[in-house]
């Protein structure tokens, strides 16, 4: 078990510290898998706050060659995070005053900005039995018109950017052209009118746009309920659109873009996306498939506070983690009509 703990810590640190995608390993990919209430959201929050990047020219290999006592003083930079906002969420734990109350010895927390589409109006509230406390006046809320506007004019670098996809999303011209190419259609056959698509499809367009505008900056994308975005067995046009997203993941690493996803069961996720994510974190209640991890090991874990982190076909180990102290109540995001 001691050896497994060593493997787990190494894999977890590799997900949180990033170097350049040409000189080093670049972006990393991980999927958190487990049923409700076993800590997926906790680890996602911690990943958002703790992920950092190394100065250009310094690689993880250089970091590993340092003596352990020299590592804490090694300079790293807070990494920009783009996190998918949900109707029931816990990102209020990342509001700086909340995080610093939870971890008083941590230092200054990352700033937090909430982004919503210009046509949407959200009310954000913390909810306890019989009580609702609105947070809008306490939050930095920015409105975006499209993906370029979000990334070029609104994104705060070095901060946690909670992004709510448009409640109504229409495929962009670029997305429609790529879809036509997938179907071997002439671009002359592309419909000029807007095409309404499922809202989570917007993340495909954001991913493509992000690759054009990162300019070498490190970005971590966190997609809670990633199966909403890339569901298994999509039909019709969604099969081709999801395939384009899977292919874009190939370019994430060299462009310094990392990805964390979470899902209740890996089976829910499109196989082309699933196969491109080499690191998985298994929580109690999950059912590993094509894995070195056995269900028997997961049954031996604590209900909350332990998971198994695995790099496919290479190594795995038991990853201990703790609840976020003084975690605020659940956050509700309510879209006004």
Compute the distance between CA of residue 22 and CA of residue 256 in angstroms, rounded to an integer: 9
The counts of H helices and E strands in the chain are 11, 19
Residue 216 has pLDDT above 90, yes or no: no
pLDDT, tens digit, 9 for 90 and up, residues 17-36: 999 999 999 999 999 999 88
Tokens 């810590």 locate to 9
Question: Percent of the chain, pLDDT > 90?
Answer: 75
pLDDT, tens digit, 9 for 90 and up, residues 87-132: 999 999 999 999 999 999 888 999 999 999 999 999 999 999 989 9
pLDDT at 36: 86
Among residues 287, 285, 240, the alpha carbon closest in space to that of 267 is found at: 287
Sheet-wide strand order for 219-223: 141-144, 112-117, 160-163, 80-84, 219-223, 257-263, 29-33, 279-282, 306-311, 315-320
Angle in degrees, CA 273, 222, 158, rounded to 5: 135
pTM of the model as a whole: 0.93
Compute the distance between CA of residue 119 and CA of residue 189 in angstroms, rounded to an integer: 29
Q: Which domains does the chain have, with CATH numbers?
A: 2-67+74-335 (3.40.50)
Residue 55 has pLDDT above 80, yes or no: yes
Compute the distance between CA of residue 181 and CA of residue 242 in angstroms, rounded to an integer: 14
177: left (phi over 0), alpha (psi -120 to 50) or beta: alpha
**Could you tell me the pLDDT band of residue 67, with boundaries at 50, 70 and 90?**
confident
pLDDT at 191: 58
Q: Which spans in 17-73 are helix H? A: 40-50, 60-64
pLDDT at 2: 41
Compute the distance between CA of residue 159 and CA of residue 144 in angstroms, rounded to an integer: 17
Strands in 34-91 per DSSP E: 52-53, 77-78, 80-84, 88-89
- Residue 30 has phi, psi (to 5 degrees) of -150, 145
DSSP β-bridge partners for residue 190? none
pLDDT at 303: 83
128, two tokens:
């306890």
pLDDT at 72: 59
Average confidence (pLDDT) over 135-139: 92
Compute the distance between CA of residue 319 and CA of residue 6 in angstroms, rounded to an integer: 9
pLDDT at 304: 83
Compute the distance between CA of residue 154 and CA of residue 145 in angstroms, rounded to an integer: 10
**Beta-carbon count within 10 A of 157 CB:** 13
pLDDT at 256: 96
167-202 exposure pattern, b = at least 16 Cβ within 10 A, e = fewer: eebebbeebbebbbeeeeeeeeeeeeeeeebebbbb
pLDDT, tens digit, 9 for 90 and up, residues 157-194: 999 999 999 999 999 888 888 888 877 665 555 555 67
Strands in 109-200 per DSSP E: 112-117, 122-128, 131-134, 141-144, 160-163, 169-171, 195-197
Rg (CA), the chain: 20
- Residue 113 has phi, psi (to 5 degrees) of -125, 140
Average pLDDT value for the chain = 91
pLDDT at 90: 96
215, two tokens:
């300019």
pLDDT, tens digit, 9 for 90 and up, residues 226-257: 999 999 989 888 999 999 999 999 999 999 99
Q: Is residue 213 classed as helix, strand or coil in its secondary structure? A: helix
85, two tokens:
């906002």
Among residues 335, 337, 308, the alpha carbon closest in space to that of 86 is found at: 335
């Amino acid at each position: 078990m001691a050896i497994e703990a060593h493997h787990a810590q190494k894999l977890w640190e590799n997900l949180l510290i990033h170097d350049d995608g040409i000189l080093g390993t670049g972006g990393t990919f991980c999927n958190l898998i487990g049923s409700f209430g076993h800590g997926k959201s906790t680890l996602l929050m911690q990943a958002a706050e703790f992920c950092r990047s190394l100065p250009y020219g310094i690689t993880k290999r250089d970091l590993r060659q340092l003596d352990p006592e020299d590592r804490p003083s090694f300079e790293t930079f807070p990494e920009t995070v783009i996190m998918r906002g949900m109707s029931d969420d816990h990102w209020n734990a990342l509001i700086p005053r909340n995080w610093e109350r939870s971890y008083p010895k941590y230092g200054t927390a990352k700033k937090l900005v909430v982004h919503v589409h210009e046509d949407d109006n959200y009310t954000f509230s913390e909810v306890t039995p019989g009580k609702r406390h609105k947070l809008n006046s306490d939050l930095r809320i920015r409105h975006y018109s499209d993906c370029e506007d979000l990334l070029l004019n609104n994104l705060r670098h070095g901060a946690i950017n909670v992004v709510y996809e448009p409640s109504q999303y229409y495929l962009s011209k670029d997305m429609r052209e790529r879809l036509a190419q997938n179907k071997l259609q002439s671009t002359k056959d592309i419909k000029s009118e807007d095409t309404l698509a499922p809202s989570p499809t917007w993340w495909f367009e954001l991913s493509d746009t992000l690759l054009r505008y990162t300019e070498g900056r490190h970005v971590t994308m966190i997609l809670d309920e990633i199966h909403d975005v890339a569901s298994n067995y999509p039909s019709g046009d969604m099969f081709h659109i999801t395939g384009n997203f899977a292919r874009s993941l190939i370019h994430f690493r060299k462009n310094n873009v990392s990805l964390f996803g979470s899902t209740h069961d890996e089976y829910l996720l499109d196989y082309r996306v699933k196969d491109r994510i080499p690191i998985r974190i298994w929580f109690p209640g999950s059912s590993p498939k094509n894995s070195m991890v056995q269900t028997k090991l997961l049954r031996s874990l604590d209900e909350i506070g332990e998971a198994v982190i695995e790099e496919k076909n290479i190594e795995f180990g038991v990853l201990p983690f703790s609840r976020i102290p003084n975690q605020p109540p659940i956050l509700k995001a309510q879209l006004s009509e």
